[in-house]
Structure 1
Amino acid sequence: MDLTELVPVRTVQSAQATPVLRPFVRAFAQRTATGLFDAQPMPAFLETVIHFEFADRLNVRSPSGGYEQVRPLELVGPHTHGGTSLLFEGTVNSFAIFLQPVAAWSLFRLLPSAVAERHHDAADVLGKPVVSLWHILAENPDFTDRVRAAETFLLSYLESQHSDTTSTTAASLLSLEEGRIGVADLASRMHLSVRQLERGFLREIGVPPKRFARVARFQGALDARVECPDRSWLKIAIDSGYHDQMHLVHDFHSLAGFTPELTLEMLGDSRPSALAVSHHPVTS
């Protein structure tokens, strides 16, 4: 059958984790789709994502224009640059675990710098337990059942949770504050010089703290609009700590590839709604 003749159909479900896992997991999401879809941009993001595919594979288009097919079991590191996009064709059945920005260290002793800006075979990185989880999820297509299985998998790692380093603690604070802390202030809070903070970020997080903060602020602005579509971009810019709306527009061009409105129009399910729930006070 010619896929171009099919009316594209896509269903997305997302949910927050059980409270004990929320310091480590931002959201779970499931996508089912049939047909041929336009390319969907993937704006810059700080989460590490464990991605499970059970039908036709997605294709990832890099900023350089090259294509890479998504593996059935993939770990996607944080991406702090825009320009990447997803292409859907055929039948899609996928499930994803969106980890908090530095939770891969807390749960799996995996530094963000080790996986940043790249896609990895999750089996190579996380071993047999995640392969077993893939099989469980494949046999249980119900979203609620899959969330329950994923939480059981993750809860088993809490017993051997790893202590944060200075850099992962600082990154968690930047993420929580959505980039609103200056680098000098952050260094002072960590009892470090700015240079020490920058070296630690490059070594363990994979990017300078200023870049991390910029993406955190951008994500906060994007999620604020996803959560409350009626909020004006001017209000979001002010609440997110931008000097003015034009600075927000500049970041969207740089980190998503489009204007704010066009980003939202083309975003699709790249930022499932559960990622934004309760992260932003809705004000008029």
Structure 2
Amino acid sequence: MSVRGRIDNFTIHFQPSGFNRLFGIPMTELTDAAYDASAVIGPEIPRLEHELGDTPGFAERIQLVEERLIRMLGRHGTVDPVAIAANSLFASNGIHRVSSLATDAGLSPRQFERRFLAQVGVPPKLYARIVRFNAALDHKLRLPSRAWSRIANDHDFYDQMHLVHDCRAFTGESPSRFLAHLERVPEFHTFFATENHPRQK
């Protein structure tokens, strides 16, 4: 398929357990896989796609999706303590101790990990590593002149090699090579963007 002309698109970034809370699907069923949205969520997706196609303005399309999601969120009750813990882990750039989060949630470590897996899709310690790596990468994208060693220190890696190890584990490449790929496709930067500021040392 060949597409020409201007294409407008946007992505939806859910909170760590947001997709599970909205749709009730165990995230372990979706982790490391790609699905057509309608196969996962159901007939609501084709209807929404049709409405988006009939909505002329880009801002209006975003508003349409936001209103639909907010309406769905209103059907749910209080936020689960594991969801609160996952949000805290994200807000801390992956620095919070998982054991203390389990205690704060009033759960044993095993209970916490089981519920975290269902709501987020990966174990809490792995999620913390992913969040920390994303924050470090976002930091480097915003401040390209900052040395990788400083980035590693700012985000509580043991040293630069620890950051390199995690980068290879998640991307299969060194930080510099992976960053070079991202620089060629700046639209992908949003996938690593975070509103959290790193802890300066």
- Give the TM-score normalised by the residue count of structure 2: 0.81
Task: Tell me which residue corresponds to 1:29.
Answer: none
Identity, in percent, stands at 34
Structure 2: give runs of 5+ residues left out of the alignment.
none
Partner Cα separation in structure 2 for residue 231 and residue 141 of structure 1:
42
Give the distance between the partners of 1:222 and 1:141, measured in 2 at CA. 35
**What does 1:38-77 correspond to in 2, within 5 Å?**
56=1
Q: 1:172 to 1:112 in 2, by over 3 A?
A: farther
**Which stretches in structure 1 are left out of the alignment for 5+ residues?**
1-55, 57-89
Match of 1:279 in 2: 196
Question: How far off its partner does 1:256 sit?
Answer: 1.3
Q: Which one-letter code corresponds to 1:279 in the other structure?
A: N
Output the CA distance in 2 between the equivalents of 1:177 and 1:157: 28
Distance 1:257 1:142, change over 3 A: farther
Q: Which residue of 2 aligns with 1:100?
A: 15
Cα gap change, 1:147/1:230 in structure 2, threshold over 3 Å: closer, same or farther? farther
Structure 1: how far apart are the matches of 2:180 and 2:114?
Answer: 38
Distance 1:232 1:144 in 2: 38
The alpha-carbon deviation at position 139 of structure 1 amounts to 3.8
Which amino acid is the alignment partner of residue 133 of structure 2? F
Tell me if structure 1 keeps the 8 A contact 2:116–2:123. Answer: yes
Cα deviation for residue 259 of structure 1 reads 1.2
Q: Are 2:92 and 2:196, in contact at CA under 8 Å, matched by a contact in 1?
A: no
| Matched position secondary structure for 2:141 | helix
1:187 matched residue in structure 2? 102
Q: Does 1:91 align with 2:91?
A: no
Q: SS where residue 276 of structure 1 aligns? A: coil
Partner of 1:244: 159
Q: Is the 8 A contact 1:116 1:206 kept in 2?
A: yes
Change beyond 3 A, Cα 1:266–1:140: farther
Return closer, same or farther for 1:162/1:112 CA change in 2, 3 Å cut-off. farther
Distance 1:228 1:162, change over 3 A: farther
Per-residue CA deviation, residues 136-183 of structure 1 (Å, 9 max, x unaligned), is 333446532322222222222232134333433322222222211222
1:6-25 equivalences under 5 Å are none
Runs of 4+ in structure 1 off by over 4 angstroms are 281-284
User: Which whole-Å deviations, capped at 9, do the CAs of 1:77-126 have from their partners, x for residues lacking one?
Assistant: xxxxxxxxxxxxx3274442222221112333334223222112211322
In the TM superposition, what whole-angstrom CA distance separates every residue of 1:172-225 from its partner, at most 9, and x where no partner exists?
222222211222222222233323323333344332221111111111111222
| Contact map agreement 2:154 2:198 (CA 8 A) in 1 | no
> In structure 2, which of residues 183, 188, 194 is the aligned counterpart of residue 270 of structure 1?
188
Identify, as 1 or 2, the structure richer in helix: 2
2:67 to 132, 152, 159: 152
What is the distance in 2 between the residues matched to 1:157 and 1:117?
25
Indicate if the aligned counterparts of 1:175 and 1:216 stay in contact, CA closer than 8 A: yes
Deviates more, 1:262-271 or 1:91-100: 91-100
CA spacing shift, 1:278–1:166, aligned 2, 3 Å: closer
Alignment RMSD (CA, Å): 2.7
Larger proportion of strand = 1
Tell me the TM-score normalised to structure 1 length. 0.60
Q: 1:141 to 1:240 in 2, by over 3 A?
A: farther
What letter matches 2:190 in structure 1? Answer: P
Q: Do the aligned residues in 2 keep the contact of 1:252 with 1:259 (CA within 8 Å)?
A: yes
Instruction: Indicate the residue corresponding to 1:232 in structure 2.
Output: 147
